[in-house]
Chain A
Amino acid sequence: MSLPQFTFLAPTSLSEACALLEKHQGTIKIKAGGTDMIVRLSHRAVKPDYLMSIKKIPGLDTISYAPDTGLTIGALALLRAVETSPLILENAPMLARAAHATATVQIRNMGTVLGNVCNASPSADNIPTLVAMHAAIVASNGTTEREIPIDEFFLGPGRTSLQANEIAIAIKVPPLAPKSGVSYQKISPRSKVDIAAVNIGALLTLDENEQCQAVRISMGAVGPTPLRAKQAETYLTDRKISDETLAAAGRLAAEDASPISDVRASREYRKLMVEVLTTRALKEAYGFAKN
């Protein structure tokens, strides 16, 4: 399918980009890798007058780590870069797993992690782990920056809390507390290369007695935005980890999920998979936290 007509903009600085956003409010779309946006354009799912690429803005593709502030992943860091980055593999290997689980290597060589986040698809591979890990999105309006906690970022499918003149320039992931473990779990009808029918990210932190000190569970593709499994989190906090408590947490997570039936899976199957994958995610995270 052909692309509709639009004016292509390629600013070379953040301030220029934000000024363009301000100027063309409501009629402009941003693209980074373009792996989602170009498809949406060709399907006429969006019809902007202006398409602005941020690829020419220098310095947005960095991946860095500092022990006190944690990871910073720039807006233009490719999925493939995150998947293979030694910094990420060492400090947040589940982010690499989630990036690896996204689409095919060809798409990962073009698409970005932050693009996947900003696209705000309920089934996005990279979101649940980032939610579990307390990530924050750094937004810039060209002059000032602010950090948006990821829990406040998603408003609905394709909708985020970015202001009309703001660009997401990076995502920050704080360092893990001691004795913490993370897991990303996903299921889809086609085994390996596929969009998630359900995905789960979990972060589990243990106290000195190996009890659960804190836990965050994020569920994808079971609601209009990534959902937190609040009941399961509350239940598990300060509780001893066992097969029974993890299974119970899985059941509670399923209660918190509000999936729909669609061509990818039925509501009932999704609910059951939330239970299975949550338990698996917690079990894996627990394994990492213990060691």
Chain B
Amino acid sequence: MSTDHNFSVVGKSLPRSDGRIKAVGAAQYADDIFLPGMLFGKLLRSPVAHARIKSIDTSAAEALPGVKCVITGQDIPKVKYGNWRLVPESQDEYALAIDKVRFIGDEVAAVAALDKDSAEEAIRLIKVEYEELPGAYSVEESLADNAPVIHDEYHQDIPNISLDRKIEYGDLDKAFAEADLVLDDVFTVHATSHAYMEPCSCVAEYDHDGRLTIWTSTQAPYFVQCLLASTLEMRENDIRVIKPFVGGGFGGKMEMRPWEFCAAFIARKLGRPVKFTLTREEELATGRRRHPMRIHSKVGFSKEGMLLAKEFNVHLDGGAYNSMGPTACFLCGNFGAMLYNYPNYRYYGAHVYTNKPPAGAMRGFGAPQALFVAETQMNVAAEKLGIDPVDIRLMNAMETGDEIPGVATISSCGFKESLIKVAEMTNWREKRKNLKPGQGLGLGCYSFISGGVFNWFNTRYNFTSAEVRAFDDGTVHLMTMASDIGQGCDTVLRQILAEELGLKVSDIRLTAADTAVTPQADLGTWGSRVTLMAGNAVRKAAQEIKEELFRMVSLKFDLNVIHDLRCGDGKIYPANRPDRAVPFGEAVRMAQRAKRGEPVIGYGSYTPRNKGLVTPAFSFGAQVAECEVDKETGAVEVKFMTTAHDCGTPINPMSVEGQLEGSVHMGLGYALSEQFIMKEGKTLTTTFLDYKIPCAEDMPPGISVHVDTYEPDGPFGAKEAGEGLVSPTAPAIADAVYAATGYRCMDLPLTPQKVLAGMNKI
């Protein structure tokens, strides 16, 4: 952490503000909510991958005792929705299928009953007649001639490409012609599950005033509010979305989803509260997932190892709907050329519909895929050019002040320091030369964004805002729509506010993520935006309070205008006369009295402006994986992970550490064992027995260090932590496996069987 800045609360490993309530089991998640008269909902999902719905007979379900409501696509407003409101034609989902089903799991009908068993039983009694259509289950099948058209109303040049993106700068043809080494490879990367601990759940209630309240396990209450309003044909402000405690999201809970709509719709129809909670099997069989991609990457180097050009063609296997695919398609192009100076770059990304569960946002959001490719090719180039993989990266690495064409200037960058640090910590150069048989050492790096700039949701509000109310007992109340889904922003935002106002964390009451009482708006928890954006808003709100209190204190002390005032230790004092301190509460009392009783309230907001189109700040890091490969079974064991990363100022180092360990866990599963095994659109790995997420015992030991940087655009120098780091793990492990076996993986995951096949043993 930075030693130049003398912080008293920021930079401290304070315990989570939600730690105790979770540890004692008292935290209420959506499924813990029980309201009087509440009904239990269940969704009927399509058993076929692509079909027209010919008829639905709900009579038997409706006749079942205990069943209070059955709805189908015929009962709901014909309003499509999707997060990309900026491009209305990209909104391609109905909450319940109206004309067609497009994947196994597509929601067809919903039931609400007095108990869960009756709801489940009723679902089994609904008869749906399907006219099955041929399906397309891969990018290749969807783009083939005469492929089935998945969305009939789309009229693009290529029917199943929902949208594409191009980036180009420099002169590629010239650069490739001058390159001494050109790598031209096709990679495939696979889908993985968010596997959040809490399956999706919500409870909706419609009051006698005609207003709707929904408690839902979401990362983005504001998105849910807006999209419920449009699909229910209600006014936004008549809908209140409350985020209770949430057990993880990782990108999988940042859209309005059919159960939220159905709970709200049925609650409004019946005037009774309705709860929907998904099962783990539903989550794994039908839930959002990381985008599988086919990536064709051509990259040119000079013989000295300088990057000259890159051509990056990406086809995203998007599944049946757009979901957050457009953003992944957009960002993948940026992640393809973010870490190094690519003087000449061309990107083409296409989002392809297939008859599979839709892929959505997931931790890293295009970066794990793009960087698996970019980092693997760096390692290949290093070997072919006879340069150490650390050195070839140092040669090309981004630095503070570098500009990414058309994106932004990097305002802080600790990439080179991270590289040097991991090389030192692992004794990289020596160790690589002295590997025993079966041992491997591999390197992967990353850069990531700290929140997005591009307003695809088309919000009319600031990206985030905060209100702070100060009280004369020395406490303050922070109100923000920022959503803690387990990542710890409730703690971090308190730390930022406490630091700014010179208070203790315990002096701060927090109300968060309730669209009816916290200030409009916050776009949600995704893209590593909360610490930087909401943190900046909180700081600005606090600065308003400070300014008001400083005026009062200045008046009282009869200070000369040039006197500096400080907040600290619960007091306000002249910088050179700390003995003349006024307690914070007393300053509030003075301010309130001077305004004849008006409360002291500060408001702050943040919207990135003049930051290009991608992000206000970039994080960086490097990671070394030490592995052992059993050459007879192909099993890869990761023995140790070493990480050096640049997240600016870690506001709470303990939280950052937790994020980093979680990233290694997710990266490990992505690299080695997690995958959806599918057959003609059907997910076969629908339990944790067969969906191989690493268990606690599979986690390797590791060490991580923060590289000391200060991000000028972040609150107290902070920027992204813990999302970018999901990216370097797979290329680092794959590189270590190459060192151990000679097998260069270009097709994740590295299952034992693939490793043996790569060694030509099977």
Contacts and interface: CB of A to CB of B under 8 A. Distances in A.
B279 A276 contact: no
Contact of B692 (A189, A266, A269): A189
B751 A189 contact: yes
Nearest to A3: B117
Interface stretch (B45-53, B465-473, B490-498, B630-638): B630-638
Contacts of B697: 191-193
B692 A194 contact: yes
Nearest to B281: A1
Given A2-B120, A264-B690, A192 B695 contact: yes
A191 B753 contact: no
A1 B762 contact: no
Is chain B's interface secondary structure helix, strand, loop, or mixed overall? Answer: loop
Interface in A182-201: 187, 189-195
B425 interface: no
A202 B427 CA distance: 42
A268 interface: yes
Interface residues of A, number: 21
A263 interface: yes
B455 interface: no
A47 to B, nearest CB: 13
B692 A272 contact: no
A191 B637 CA distance: 8
Is chain A's interface secondary structure helix, strand, loop, or mixed overall? Answer: loop
B673 A195 contact: no
A214 to B, nearest CB: 26
Contact of A193 (B690, B695, B761, B762): B695
Contacts of B117: 2
B685 interface: yes
B633 A263 contact: no
Interface string B676-700: 0100000011000110111101100
Contacts of A268: 762
A104 B689 CA distance: 12
Nearest to A105: B697
Most buried by B among A190, A264, A273: A190
B116 interface: yes
Given A189-B673, A263-B685, A269 B756 contact: yes
A2 B281 CA distance: 13
B752 interface: yes
Nearest to A191: B698
Interface in B658-714: 673, 677, 684-685, 689-690, 692-695, 697-698
A190 B698 contact: yes
A90 B286 CA distance: 49
Nearest to A277: B633
Given A2-B116, A189-B692, A276-B632, 9 more contacts: A189-B752, A190-B693, A190-B695, A191-B637, A191-B673, A268-B762, A269-B762, A272-B761, A277-B633
14 contacts: A2-B116, A187-B633, A189-B751, A190-B673, A190-B694, A190-B698, A192-B695, A192-B697, A263-B685, A269-B753, A272-B762, A276-B632, A276-B633, A277-B633
Interface of A: 1-2, 104, 187, 189-195, 263-266, 268-269, 272-273, 276-277
Interface of B: 116-117, 120, 279, 281, 632-633, 635, 637, 673, 677, 684-685, 689-690, 692-695, 697-698, 751-753, 756, 761-762
